[in-house]
């Protein structure tokens, strides 16, 4: 019995009590069950009796007693105890636990997947960093969260397209090009420009491609610098994301919107909807009709489109491509975009409460230090992955709410103790995977004979009382733990790391899966196998990527 099934059984017990006239209340839509702190108090616990007691006009314990009687008759439930002011402690029978294990084994990798979100056609745009420098720690947070959202939506049946919007038009050309030229001249970066080692590296590439660039007129020099630096930087961004195991289906170029005439076409479409007006020589969109704090300029008086016009054209492009829902994950400095993007959706004839969702993230820093590309002290994603490890970074960033500021401690993420949640999860994953080769070698229980009796419950209770850490290394009756060859751990002395646990601080170019032994390798084969770094990783399956042109931090 899963927690979800148990929650449904509790709701059914409440409804049955209402139907029988024992309770008079509105059955809550959701019932929460959770693990008790001590397994001596059962497998699951719920405080639903305390939640509904006031509405029922009864003491919580009286409500709990009614529910305990009904839940005790549910197949798979062995015992229900009322504790404290009205908590319910529920113990499942061993056969129920065995049946759940059998369900998981039968489902394999499909376990946990479903079709609850089938029919949703979603465009999820995230990161969309300006191609003016390496991805930094703030982008890393959106990479972890956005990719997790894509995977979860797909696992529940939604049709999701992951999209990256390349801000490769407008002021980006001047800012990046000007920064590169300043580096070539040995000058400080211009106001609003960029600095750092990566700018110097781009400048060297530009000088190699155009040795006489400093002799060119400024506009031509800016264009030449951009034409060389931009593809290098975009390729670097794609490589970083690939290293972080983030795959985008579409890379959408802002420049393509302008070059194709889509921006002008969008303005005319919105005019046909009756939401565009002219004032002081400019063309405006009346967004105040839909909750924005002021109307927005689409085309300036000098005929140059605004960024907002490109945003409108981009939204209409998503609508024309058949996406019912458009989800935007934007940075902490984009709160003002929420109302204006929803206004664009309304002006386009969509429902801003259904067809668009804008999520705003908060800042991430290391030990409270403010960082940024323009400050020249940004912590880049590649460096963070090399320092801590891809899995550790993803888990640490995805486990906290996106709308709260986050201060990371890299040393804590790398710490190989049970106090580090990353280490604990990785250790549990490694232990479960060790059972798979054993099963293939015939050491597991035969199919259909899962241990579901009293002895299994006694073993499970003993296991619950054991320390929740890694098994002791060596000792009477135990073979010494195998360890990986000693290697330098960044920030600390050389030490032996249990082979069963993946190194949290691997080399940047490590392949996916290279920390795992070959599935069918014996213990002896693994002991004498080449190092993990030399083993080839498994082939990686990727969704087809669409490129709209070849080219912000939005």
Give the pLDDT score at 365.
Answer: 66
Residue 325 is encoded by which pair of tokens? 């829902």
**H runs (alpha helix) in 30-170:** 48-56, 60-71, 94-107, 137-155
pLDDT band at 442 (very low <50, low <70, confident <90, very high): low
Domain spanning 3-92, CATH architecture:
2-Layer Sandwich (3.30)
| pLDDT tens string 506-543 | 444 444 444 444 444 444 444 444 444 444 444 444 45
pLDDT higher at 478 or 6: 6
What is the mean predicted confidence (pLDDT) over 66-76?
A: 92
pLDDT over 80 at 372, yes or no: no
Separation CA 475–CA 251 (nearest Å): 56
Which of 50, 46, 549 minimizes the C-alpha distance to 257? Answer: 549
Domain ranges of the chain: 3-92, 171-230
pLDDT band at 396 (very low <50, low <70, confident <90, very high): confident
β-bridge partners, 88: 46, 82
pLDDT over 60 at 465, yes or no: no
| pLDDT tens string 192-240 | 888 888 999 999 999 999 999 998 898 899 889 988 999 999 999 999 9
130-139, 235-244, 409-418, range with the lowest pLDDT: 409-418
Give the pLDDT score at 34.
Answer: 92
pLDDT over 60 at 89, yes or no: yes
| pLDDT tens string 5-59 | 899 999 999 999 999 999 888 888 889 999 998 888 889 999 999 999 988 899 9
| DSSP H or E stretch at residue 165 | strand 159-166
What is the mean predicted confidence (pLDDT) over 383-392?
A: 84
Give the pLDDT score at 39.
Answer: 80
pLDDT over 50 at 467, yes or no: no
What is the mean predicted confidence (pLDDT) over 134-156?
A: 91
Separation CA 537–CA 554 (nearest Å): 34
Q: Are 283 and 298 in contact (CB under 8 A)?
A: yes
User: For the chain, what is the mean pLDDT?
Assistant: 78
pLDDT over 50 at 498, yes or no: no
134-138, 335-339, 418-422, 528-532, range with the lowest pLDDT: 528-532
pLDDT over 90 at 314, yes or no: yes
Give the pLDDT score at 282.
Answer: 95
pLDDT over 90 at 150, yes or no: yes
Residues 6+ apart with CB under 8 A from 368: 407
| pLDDT tens string 1-20 | 888 889 999 999 999 999 99
pLDDT over 60 at 146, yes or no: yes
* Residue in the block written with tokens 């529940």: 156
Separation CA 516–CA 504 (nearest Å): 14
Give the pLDDT score at 201.
Answer: 93
| pLDDT tens string 160-183 | 999 999 988 877 778 888 999 999
Give the pLDDT score at 486.
Answer: 38
110-124, 125-139, 437-451, range with the lowest pLDDT: 437-451
Q: Are 230 and 176 in contact (CB under 8 A)?
A: yes
Strand order in the sheet with 44-46: 44-46, 87-92, 77-83
pLDDT band at 107 (very low <50, low <70, confident <90, very high): confident
By percentage, how much of the chain surpasses pLDDT 70?
A: 74
Give the pLDDT score at 101.
Answer: 80
């Amino acid at each position: 019995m899963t927690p979800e099934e148990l929650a449904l059984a509790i709701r059914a017990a409440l409804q049955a009590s209402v139907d029988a006239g024992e309770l008079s209340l509105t059955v809550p839509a959701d019932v929460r069950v959770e693990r008790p702190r001590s397994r001596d108090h059962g497998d699951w616990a719920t405080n639903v009796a305390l939640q509904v007691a006031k509405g029922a006009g009864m003491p919580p314990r009286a409500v709990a007693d009614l529910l305990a009687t009904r839940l005790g008759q549910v197949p798979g439930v062995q015992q229900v105890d009322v504790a404290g002011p009205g908590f319910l402690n529920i113990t499942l029978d061993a056969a129920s636990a065995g049946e759940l294990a059998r369900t998981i084994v039968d489902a394999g990798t499909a376990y946990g997947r479903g079709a609850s979100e089938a029919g949703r056609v979603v465009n999820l745009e995230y990161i969309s960093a300006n191609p003016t420098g390496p991805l930094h720690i703030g982008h890393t947070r959106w990479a972890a969260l956005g990719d997790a959202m894509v995977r979860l939506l797909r696992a529940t049946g939604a049709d999701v397209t992951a999209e990256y919007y390349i801000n490769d038009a407008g002021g980006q050309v001047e800012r990046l090009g000007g920064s590169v030229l300043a580096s070539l001249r040995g000058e400080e970066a211009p106001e609003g420009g960029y600095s750092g080692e990566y700018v110097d590296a781009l400048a060297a590439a530009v000088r190699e491609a155009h040795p006489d660039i400093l002799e060119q007129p400024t506009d031509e020099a800016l264009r030449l610098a951009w034409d060389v630096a931009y593809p290098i930087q975009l390729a670097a961004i794609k490589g970083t994301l690939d290293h972080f195991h983030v795959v985008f289906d579409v890379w959408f170029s802002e420049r393509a919107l302008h070059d194709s005439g889509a921006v002008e076409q969008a303005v005319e479409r919105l005019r046909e909807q009756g939401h565009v007006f002219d004032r002081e020589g400019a063309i405006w969109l009346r967004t105040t009709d839909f909750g924005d704090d002021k109307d927005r300029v689409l085309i300036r008086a000098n005929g140059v489109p605004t960024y907002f016009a490109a945003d409108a054209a981009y939204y209409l492009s998503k609508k024309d491509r058949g996406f019912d829902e458009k989800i935007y994950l934007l940075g902490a400095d984009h709160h003002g975009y929420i109302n204006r993007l929803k206004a664009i959706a309304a002006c386009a004839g969509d429902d801003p409460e259904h067809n668009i969702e804008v999520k705003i993230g908060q800042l991430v820093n290391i030990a409270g230090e403010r960082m940024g590309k323009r400050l020249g002290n940004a912590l880049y994603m590649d460096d963070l992955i090399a320092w801590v490890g891809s899995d550790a970074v993803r888990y640490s960033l995805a486990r906290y709410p996106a709308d709260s500021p986050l201060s990371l401690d890299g040393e804590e993420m790398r710490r190989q103790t049970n106090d580090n949640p990353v280490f604990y999860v990785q250790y549990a994953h490694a232990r479960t995977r060790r059972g798979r080769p054993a099963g293939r070698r015939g050491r597991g229980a035969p199919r259909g004979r899962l241990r579901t009796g009293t002895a299994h419950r006694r073993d499970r209770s003993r296991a619950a009382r054991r320390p929740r850490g890694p098994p002791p290394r060596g000792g009477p009756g135990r073979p010494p733990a195998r360890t990986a060859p000693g290697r330098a751990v960044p920030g600390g002395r050389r030490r032996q790391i249990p082979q069963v646990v993946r190194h949290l601080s691997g080399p940047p170019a490590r392949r996916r899966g290279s920390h795992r032994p070959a599935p069918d390798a014996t213990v002896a084969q693994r002991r004498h196998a080449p190092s993990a770094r030399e083993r080839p990783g498994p082939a990686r399956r990727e969704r087809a990527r669409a490129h709209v042109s070849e080219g912000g931090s939005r």
